[in-house]
């Protein structure tokens, strides 16, 4: 047989795209359109309905950046269309093929009922099927003119990322708004050809099935009448039926498809726009569910459900009905799809608590899995936290983006730092926006790493990132691919059903131990430093407010625990942990609002804590310690006078000291407190840090060396830091001043000031306090650089085989060498409050109050010693998507802690982030809880969420070893239970002289403590 592939393929391509697709709509009549431009922010439907509309012609520009234009559309179905399927088809002037970041609209009936959204890949609104003829159509269409931030493919900065800088030039030109007849035979023929042509293109050239499809297309298209496509479409379809009916091979891979619409809670649009995106997408989804009974849609992020409930009750009711029918599957059990590295441990616990409770309360559904397809790496604390929240599985996709190493599994057991394992799946289709294209189907099979052990994978399908969701075209593809020779089989089903089948089929799946590190997007540990600082501060202020509110509720008559305010504040903080807000990868508008929100949260939490402390009664100045460790340190009085105090963990003490420690002395640029001696060089770096207790020099080079690197990644400016940043840098060694600014027996400080770059300045106050080896670097930075990163380096004379970095409820150890490509790829990593380096017998920690990104490198010196350097990433200056990212003022503190073991690092990390609070109070009561036993660390103290009055305490083992201890209470104790994260009982704990506690390494334990009746 002659090889006629090229002729037939080109024929099929032309007839498909040029003749069949244009014939999908058989007839059209224009709708009459009027317009009203809403002033400023979006308005409710009632206001829009009452507005004065003006006639609007097609091909007219409309829509300033971030504007809202309401269109009134009227028309009548022609009588001759009776019996046909009639739709309204609206083209707002869409650009490109991505629905997420451009013109979008929600179509309402005249009475305000939301019908469906329109976007570039979903332009129709159903009118009648079949039509009677003569139907009146009257729509009010809320159209958003969101700018296309991706128009330049992230190649250059744009002012469009903030309404304050975007201007008012119209962005779009309205193309058409018509009533149209959908020719269903032509539409189905279009889909038949899509599926067959794409499948054929993926099959090997020698595969008989490819040639069978090729010649079937050729013969079928002979039946197409070019002058009457509609009239001949049925015959063409009938000729293709045999080749579409051939069943898949018995061993074909099975893809479990689940509808999905990834909606970033903020990213290239502000939160206010996400609230509307959810209504648009969810309207589409519930509409699609009415057409396809087999449809199942998985949707995470309780916050987005809450927005729809509050702003679009009719859409909310449609969701509830879809859930009842089993077509809508709440998944994930988190308040938002949060970043996977940066939120604190208690914050991730609350993400799971608030998310799961929402779904239980509103739908009676307990979600079974964590759904995080798009976060930028995942902490090794997740398996334990997920299981403690009652989850059975974990899903992500993002690790497929690795820059260097291909992750070896798609279905596996993920083991966390404590030994907990959770069944985990990475869809080998490598997208959470699948559309069942031939290329995607082939990729899923080709990629799948578990061949021979398992046979199935998951595919989330539907347009996403900015929403949109599944379409009827995708559903039709799924139907054709349900059982088609040459293709994997597609089954639409709930994610829980997939995971149950996958686990049953592959119970002995391989195990991956430790963090899921994404070898990309490493700059998200640093970008938008003020957003990250706002999150860190909020987490610790919430801890403070809960502890002292609990103390007041137990001991202050008449004080009412602020359940509702704390709940609201927690949810605000949880929202801003979304994986494009907290990582710093959103537009300027998002981060401007985030900083303002964090300021409001801080103010209210300060008020809550102040109210709780005041409720304890006046009686003199006291220091309040929210840390889980006893503290003996210098604190300033309300008048700024340094005082040395000893304060118990979770308790308070008067501002007095019986025996002050050895005073701090100052000799030129040398600070000495009997524990460490710190010498500041003329250039402002640390010339020496000598540990007087261990009689050894800590540094192996200039300490606190500020280094300004060129930082232009290959792509994704706000997200990425590429390894070549190390190759070009300037050391900031020209201090404009080095001077002693405070000299007190309890505290001494040297201030170093520098100017550099394009008008940037940095002032650092280096402080040593009596009784502590910790050296603080209080930093005031005015930053005006572009495409730079500023790092602070601490080269220490320690031969460390690994660096330990704090994560949620524990720490991870990462090798300091680069023996393999996996280690080399970790050239920038995340940590929370501390990084620790040690050799047998000696360790050093570097602490911080708001930074996350860092690197650890090592070299061997000519004297044979090893220099291990911690480089803290302080601030960056990406220009895309926010051209002003990080510009301006920053204030933060980091510290060097010589002679520290892991528990010292933990304790001082808490101390730096939870400074002693000085307030007027009476002789405060005993701490709510205290723990006797090394390694047992209290993370949260609060009243139970059910308002029962029980006290809930969350604690964990912090050192990585076994721990035993006793938890004692400052109130009469009647009983104790171990609970899950949602405070549901798991087992009763015997209570004698306190609550005995025995923990495995890094184990998290939640205790619910019942108070004894008074009297």
Q: Give the position of tokens 């799948």.
A: 448
374 is catalytic: yes
In whole angstroms, how far apart are CA 534 and each of 140, 782, 957? 40, 18, 27
Q: Give the position of tokens 């930053």.
A: 783
The number of angstroms, rounded, from the C-alpha of 12 to the middle of its chain's C-alpha atoms is 44
Helix spans in 20-106 (H) = 45-49
Rama region for 124: left / alpha / beta (φ>0; ψ in -120 to 50; rest): beta
State the DSSP code for 401: G
Strand partners, 932: 966
In the numeric block, which tokens belong to residue 336?
């938002």
In whole angstroms, how far apart are CA 571 and each of 334, 335, 564? 11, 8, 11
50 contacts: CB under 8 Å, gap ≥ 6: none
In the numeric block, which tokens belong to residue 326?
């089993």
State the DSSP code for 959: S
* DSSP three-state, residue 123: coil
Distance CA 285, CA 318 (A): 10
In whole angstroms, how far apart are CA 747 and each of 421, 661, 740? 48, 11, 11
State the DSSP code for 794: E
Question: Does residue 609 contact residue 917 with C-beta atoms inside 8 Å?
Answer: yes
- Catalytic residue, candidates 339, 374, 465, 904: 374
State the DSSP code for 655: S
Listed residue (609, 575, 413, 593) closest to 502, CA to CA: 413
Neighbours of 123 (CB within 10 A): 20
Strand partners, 512: 414
In whole angstroms, how far apart are CA 495 and each of 257, 371, 458, 475, 709? 8, 10, 8, 17, 45
Q: What is the largest CA-CA distance in the chain?
A: 102
Quick one: which H or E segment has residue 59?
none
Distance CA 722, CA 964 (A): 44
* DSSP three-state, residue 826: coil
The arrangement of strands across the sheet holding 829-830 comes to 729-731, 705-710, 788-796, 866-876, 853-860, 829-830
Strand partners, 856: 870
Listed residue (599, 607, 465) closest to 531, CA to CA: 599
In the numeric block, which tokens belong to residue 267?
């990213």
Pairing of strands 67-76, 136-145: antiparallel
In whole angstroms, how far apart are CA 433 and each of 165, 284, 484? 31, 16, 22
Length of the chain counted residue by residue: 1015
Sort 212 into a burial class: Cβ within 10 Å, 0-12 / 13-18 / 19+.
middle
Strand partners, 920: 621
Listed residue (808, 813, 796) closest to 852, CA to CA: 808
* b/e 913-930 (16+ beta carbons within 10 angstroms → b): bbbbbbbebeebbbbbbb
In whole angstroms, how far apart are CA 754 and each of 206, 209, 795? 69, 71, 21
The arrangement of strands across the sheet holding 393-395 comes to 369-371, 393-395, 421-425, 411-415, 511-513
Listed residue (599, 643, 608) closest to 622, CA to CA: 643
Q: Which residues are catalytic?
A: 374
């Amino acid at each position: 047989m002659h090889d006629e592939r090229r002729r037939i393929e080109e024929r099929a391509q032309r007839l498909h795209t040029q003749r069949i697709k244009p014939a999908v709509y058989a007839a059209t009549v224009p709708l009459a359109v009027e317009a009203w431009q809403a002033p400023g922010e979006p308005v409710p439907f009632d206001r829009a309905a009452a507005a004065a509309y003006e006639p609007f012609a097609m091909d007219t520009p409309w829509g300033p950046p971030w504007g809202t234009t309401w269109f009134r559309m009227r028309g009548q179905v022609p009588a001759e269309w009776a019996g046909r399927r009639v739709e309204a088809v609206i083209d707002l002037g869409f650009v490109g093929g991505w629905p997420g970041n451009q013109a979008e609209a929600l179509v309402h009936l005249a009475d305000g009922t939301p019908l469906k959204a329109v976007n570039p890949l979903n332009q129709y609104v159903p009118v009648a099927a079949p039509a009677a003829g003569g139907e009146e159509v009257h729509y009010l269409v809320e159209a958003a003119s969101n700018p296309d931030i991706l128009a330049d493919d992230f190649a250059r900065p744009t002012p469009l990322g903030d309404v304050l800088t975007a201007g008012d030039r119209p962005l779009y030109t309205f193309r058409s708004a018509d009533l149209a007849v959908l020719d269903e035979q032509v539409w189905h023929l279009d889909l038949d050809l899509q599926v067959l042509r794409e499948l054929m293109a993926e099959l090997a050239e020698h595969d008989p099935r490819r040639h069978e499809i090729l010649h079937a297309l050729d013969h079928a298209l002979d039946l197409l009448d070019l002058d009457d496509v509609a009239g001949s479409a049925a015959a063409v379809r009938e000729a293709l039926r045999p080749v579409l009916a051939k069943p898949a091979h018995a061993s074909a891979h099975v893809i479990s498809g689940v509808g999905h619409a990834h909606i970033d809670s903020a990213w290239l649009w502000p939160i206010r726009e996400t609230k509307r995106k959810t209504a648009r997408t969810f309207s589409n989804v519930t509409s699609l569910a009415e057409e396809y009974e087999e449809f199942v849609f998985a949707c995470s992020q309780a916050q987005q459900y809450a927005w729809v409930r509050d702003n679009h009750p009719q859409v909310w009711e449609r969701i509830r009905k879809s859930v009842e029918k089993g077509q809508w599957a709440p998944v994930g059990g988190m308040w938002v799809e949060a970043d996977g590295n940066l939120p604190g441990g208690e914050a991730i616990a609350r993400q799971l608590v608030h998310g799961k409770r929402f779904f239980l309360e509103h739908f009676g559904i307990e979600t079974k899995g964590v759904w995080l397809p798009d976060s930028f790496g995942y902490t090794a604390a997740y398996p334990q936290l997920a299981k403690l929240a009652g989850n059975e599985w974990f899903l992500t996709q993002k690790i497929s983006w690795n820059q260097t190493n291909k992750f070896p599994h798609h279905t596996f057991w993920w083991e966390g730092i404590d030994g907990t394992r959770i069944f985990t799946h990475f869809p080998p289709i490598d997208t959470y926006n699948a559309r069942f294209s031939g290329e995607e189907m082939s990729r899923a099979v080709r990629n799948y790493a578990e061949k021979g052990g398992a046979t199935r994978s998951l595919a989330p399908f539907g347009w996403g990132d900015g929403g949109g969701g599944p379409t009827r075209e995708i559903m039709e593809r799924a139907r054709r691919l349900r059982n088609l020779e040459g293709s994997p089989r597609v089954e639409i089903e709930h994610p829980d059903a997939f995971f149950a089948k996958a686990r049953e089929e592959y119970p002995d799946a391989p195990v991956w131990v430790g963090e899921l590190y994404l070898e990309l997007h490493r700059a998200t540990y640093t970008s938008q430093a003020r957003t990250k600082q706002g999150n860190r501060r909020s987490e610790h202020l919430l801890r403070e407010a809960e502890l002292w509110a609990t103390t007041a509720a137990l001991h202050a008559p008449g004080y009412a625990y602020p359940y509702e305010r704390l709940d609201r504040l927690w949810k605000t903080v949880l929202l801003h942990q979304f994986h494009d807000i907290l990582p710093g990868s959103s537009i300027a508008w998002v981060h401007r609002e985030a900083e303002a929100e964090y300021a409001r949260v801080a103010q209210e939490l300060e008020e809550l804590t102040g109210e709780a402390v005041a409720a304890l009664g006046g009686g003199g100045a006291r220091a309040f310690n929210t840390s889980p460790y006893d503290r003996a340190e210098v604190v300033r009085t309300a008048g700024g006078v340094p005082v040395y105090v000893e304060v118990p963990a979770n308790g308070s003490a008067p501002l007095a000291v019986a025996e002050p420690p050895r005073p701090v002395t100052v000799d030129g640029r040398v600070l000495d407190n009997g524990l460490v001696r710190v010498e500041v060089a003329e250039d402002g770096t640390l010339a020496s840090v000598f540990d007087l207790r261990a009689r050894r020099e800590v540094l192996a080079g200039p300490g606190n060396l500020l280094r300004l690197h060129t930082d232009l990644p290959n792509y994704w400016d706000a997200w990425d830091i590429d390894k070549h940043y190390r190759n070009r840098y300037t050391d900031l060694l020209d201090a404009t001043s080095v001077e002693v600014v405070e000299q007190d027996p309890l505290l001494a400080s040297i201030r170093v000031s520098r100017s550099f770059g394009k008008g940037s300045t940095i002032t650092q106050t280096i402080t040593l306090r009596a009784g502590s080896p910790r050296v603080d670097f209080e930093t005031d930075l005015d930053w005006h650089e572009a495409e730079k990163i500023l790092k602070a380096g601490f080269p220490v004379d320690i031969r460390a085989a690994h660096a330990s970095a704090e994560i949620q409820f524990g720490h991870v150890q990462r090798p300091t060498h680069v023996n393999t490509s996996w280690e080399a790829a970790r050239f920038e990593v995340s940590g929370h409050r501390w990084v620790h380096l040690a050799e047998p017998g000696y360790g050093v920690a570097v602490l911080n109050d708001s930074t996350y990104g860092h690197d650890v490198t090592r070299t061997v010196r000519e004297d044979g010693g090893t220099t291990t350097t911690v480089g803290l990433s302080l601030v960056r200056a990406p220009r895309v998507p926010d051209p002003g990212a990080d510009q301006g003022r920053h204030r933060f503190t980091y510290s060097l802690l010589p002679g520290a073991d892991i528990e010292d690092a933990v304790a001082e990390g808490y101390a730096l982030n939870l400074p002693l609070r000085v307030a007027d109070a009476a002789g405060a009561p005993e701490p709510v809880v205290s723990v006797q036993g090394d390694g047992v660390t209290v993370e949260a103290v609060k009243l139970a969420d059910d308002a029962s009055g029980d006290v809930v305490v969350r604690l964990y083992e912090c050192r990585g070893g076994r721990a035993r201890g006793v938890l004692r209470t400052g109130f009469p104790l009647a009983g104790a239970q171990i609970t899950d994260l949602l405070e549901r009982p798991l087992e009763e704990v015997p209570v004698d002289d306190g609550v005995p506690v025995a923990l495995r390494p890094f184990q998290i334990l939640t205790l619910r403590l019942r108070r004894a009746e008074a009297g």
